[in-house]
Structure 1
Amino acid sequence: MKTLLVLRHAKSGWDDPVARDFDRPLNPKGQRAAVAMGRYLREQGLRFDHAIASPAVRVRETLAEVSHGLGAAIEPAWDQKLYLASLGTLLDAIEDLPDSAGTVLLSGHNPGLEELVLDRVRTPGPLRDAAEEKFPTATLAELRFNIAHWRESSRADAELVRFVRPRDLDPSLGPDA
């Protein structure tokens, strides 16, 4: 059994005058949402053995804020290929994960993360419906694979056991707040 925690970066600041998309930082609401998600991970006892992430500023800042809420440092393997990664690139990265890791945190960007969840989770249900409707910033999806090796993940269906949006934790983090 392998578990993949998929975390989209928190809300970034479009008003920030940065030259490159890669350098966009989080906005204050995104910072609060990331801390809330870290607290949620801690309260639910969700732990991971390994983490991989896009090195974009907004992902780095998301994981730093999640760490504050979690109460533990997150030290991912930063992978440039995960910046705005396609479904195929994400599946390749997952297949390359060390088998010693039973649970892995993957943090990055849409639309790739949403496509990953919908591609691996084929069984209809309310959680999949919610993910298909919208995969907001700072959302966490937990996928469980009935596999022994990560290299089997691109050919295996996953069960979506958790889909948590920031507004589920705090209504003030919702889109209209």
Structure 2
Amino acid sequence: MKKLFLLRHAQTEGYSLSNPDLKRKLTEHGIQDAMRLGQLLREENFEVDKIVSSVAVRAQTTARLIANGMHYAPSQIQIEEDLYQCSEVDLLRFINQIDDNYINNLFLVNHNPAVSALIYLLSEKDYGFLSPCSLVIFSFDVENWTEITRGSGKIEEIRVPENGFEVVTL
């Protein structure tokens, strides 16, 4: 059994010529949401074996705040340049390449539209675009990450900041 915690980064400041996309930071609201979600996941005894983030500042900051809340060492977060501005197919390819048998619970912090498109790809259900700092938890009845394919995921939970991260009824 494998679990994927798929998170869209928290709310960010706007894009401008003086504030390039890769360097956009979280807003105070985004910081608070990420901190709260990390605390909730710890309180509910969720554990992850690996946290992976896009190289973008907003994704890395979100990942660090979640890690701090869950008591996961931020220094252990894996930063992946290839996950920035990638497609859902690229995200799936990345997941399929995980070859560490000790990683059963993967936490992946990335960006829309790829995150929302990956949800559709894995579940074959359209949930629309996720708002910032929204989390979808998938389970897969597989032994290896290479076995994850289109439609093979079961969505266990969706949590969005708009309702205080309560589990959304599916």
TM-score of Structure 1 vs Structure 2, range by shorter chain: 0.7 to 0.9
Q: What is the TM-score of this pair, normalised by structure 1?
A: 0.84
Distance 2:164 2:92 in 1: 29
Where does the alignment leave 5 or more consecutive residues of structure 2 unmatched?
none
The letter of the residue matching 1:57 is V
The letter of the residue matching 1:163 is I
Q: Which residue number in structure 2 is paired with residue 114 of structure 1?
A: 116
Q: For residue 99 of structure 1, give the secondary structure of its aligned residue in structure 2.
A: coil
Q: Which residue number in structure 1 is paired with residue 106 of structure 2?
A: 104
Task: Give yes or no for contact 1:136–1:165 (8 Å, CA) kept in 2.
Answer: yes
Distance 1:32 1:119 in 2: 30
Q: Which residue number in structure 2 is paired with residue 168 of structure 1?
A: 163
Task: Give yes or no for contact 2:54–2:80 (8 Å, CA) kept in 1.
Answer: yes
Task: Give yes or no for contact 2:9–2:109 (8 Å, CA) kept in 1.
Answer: yes
The letter of the residue matching 1:121 is S
Distance 1:16 1:72 in 2: 33
Q: For residue 47 of structure 2, give the secondary structure of its aligned residue in structure 1.
A: coil
Greater CA deviation, 73-82 or 54-63?
73-82
1:2-13 correspondence to structure 2 within 5 Å: 2-13=2-13
Distance 2:80 2:30 in 1: 22
Residue 69 of structure 1, CA deviation: 2.8
Distance 2:53 2:42 in 1: 20
Residue 24 of structure 1, CA deviation: 0.2
Q: What is the TM-score of this pair, normalised by structure 2?
A: 0.88
Q: For residue 6 of structure 1, give the secondary structure of its aligned residue in structure 2.
A: strand
User: Is 1:137 aligned to residue 139 of structure 2?
Assistant: no
Distance 2:18 2:37 in 1: 26
Q: For residue 3 of structure 2, give the secondary structure of its aligned residue in structure 1.
A: strand
Q: For residue 133 of structure 1, give the secondary structure of its aligned residue in structure 2.
A: coil
Structure number with the higher helix fraction is 1
Q: Which residue number in structure 2 is paired with residue 93 of structure 1?
A: 94
Residue 72 of structure 1, CA deviation: 3.6
Q: Which residue number in structure 1 is paired with residue 30 of structure 2?
A: 30
Q: For residue 141 of structure 1, give the secondary structure of its aligned residue in structure 2.
A: strand
Where does the alignment leave 5 or more consecutive residues of structure 1 unmatched?
123-127, 172-177
Residue 18 of structure 1, CA deviation: 3.9
Residue 168 of structure 1, CA deviation: 2.2
The letter of the residue matching 1:95 is N
Q: CA RMSD in A?
A: 2.0
Q: For residue 6 of structure 2, give the secondary structure of its aligned residue in structure 1.
A: strand
Moved over 3 A (4+): 15-19
The percent of aligned pairs where both chains have the same amino acid is 26
Task: Give yes or no for contact 1:16–1:25 (8 Å, CA) kept in 2.
Answer: no
Residue 65 of structure 1, CA deviation: 2.0
Task: Give yes or no for contact 1:18–1:24 (8 Å, CA) kept in 2.
Answer: no
Distance 2:115 2:66 in 1: 18
